[in-house]
Amino acid sequence: MPHFKHTFGNLSRVHFDKMKVSTRKRPISAEFLSADDATFHTSNAPIKGTYNVSSGVSLTTSKSFIDVEMQLHRREPTPADGRLPKLWTTSTLRTSRGSIRATYDLHTTTPVKEYSRYSIEAETTLGKIDIDFADAPPVHVLSLHAATTFRRARVFVPPQFEGSFTMRSLYPFRKVVDDRENYDIDPLGRNRSRTLSENYEDPFVRKGAVVWGSADVIQGEIDLKSTLGSTAIVI
């Protein structure tokens, strides 16, 4: 419904299989909304609220900001679902000339030995990106890509994360904050230490990795890009 404001209250007792909302020049907000797949689109207006999804969520606007709490649930379908499982639970946030702030809470119903996979994309221009995590499974694979121009892109990595990171911005506008002393408890209880390494740096790119103990194969990845802006990753 174009030119209508969309406001959702606390719908914690309702779950949608699919939900798609589109408007123009009007805000979209949700106190709490739950769905397998959710798509929300507007322009010249903000998107706010708490979104709980198990398959994928896409929030798109322009010339305004996105400020959300995201609960991503990775679950294996039951036989009654009659559906094949998706490889990734996905979240896409896009705007222009506006900031993106998102806090993610990652959950899973799969056994620890089976990796839960989450894909997060955030993209804007002329706006800051700030992403952090309230929680994540002890074992998971996170693929996170964030890009902006002229502003900062910053990510607070969940302490359970294992993987590589790449920061694409001009030197010296790249910062790695080592906060490991505040998160020194092995999520799997194996008394492993958390290792931070940096293996490449030039005037345009800085690369590294963080793992618990020793990892033969690194599956997670974080890629931050800011054209003529700064990037920061808090480990």
Mean pLDDT of 23-27: 95
pTM of the entire predicted model: 0.93
CA distances from 91 to 84, 172, 207 (A): 19, 30, 24
8 A C-beta contact, residue 158 and residue 138: no
Q: Is residue 195 part of a domain?
A: yes
Residue 93 pLDDT? 99
Residue span of the structural domain in which 219 resides:
6-234
Q: Is residue 48 part of a domain?
A: yes
- What is the percentage of the chain residues whose pLDDT exceeds 70? 91
pLDDT (tens digit, 9 = 90+) per residue, 175-217?
999 998 888 899 989 999 999 999 999 999 999 999 998 876 7
Q: Is residue 182 part of a domain?
A: yes
Q: Is the pLDDT of residue 159 over 90?
A: yes
Q: Is residue 108 part of a domain?
A: yes
Q: Is the pLDDT of residue 97 over 70?
A: yes
DSSP string, the chain: -TT--EEEEE-TT--EEEEEEE-SSS-EEEEEEEEEEEEEE-SSS-EEEEEEEEEEEEEE-SSS-EEEEEEEEE-PPPGGG--PPPS-EEEEEE-SSS-EEEEEEEEE-S-TTSPEEEEEEEE-SSS-EEEEEEE--SSEEEEEEEEEESS-EEEE--TT--EEEEEES-TTSEEEE--GGG--S-TTSS-PPEEEEEEEE-SSEEEEEEEES--SS--EEEEEEEETS-EEEE-
Q: Is residue 171 part of a domain?
A: yes
Question: What CA–CA distance (Å, rounded) separates 195 from 185?
Answer: 13
Q: Is residue 74 part of a domain?
A: yes
Q: Is residue 1 part of a domain?
A: no
pLDDT (tens digit, 9 = 90+) per residue, 122-149?
999 999 999 999 999 999 999 999 999 9
Q: Quote the number of domains for the chain.
A: 1
Q: Is residue 59 part of a domain?
A: yes
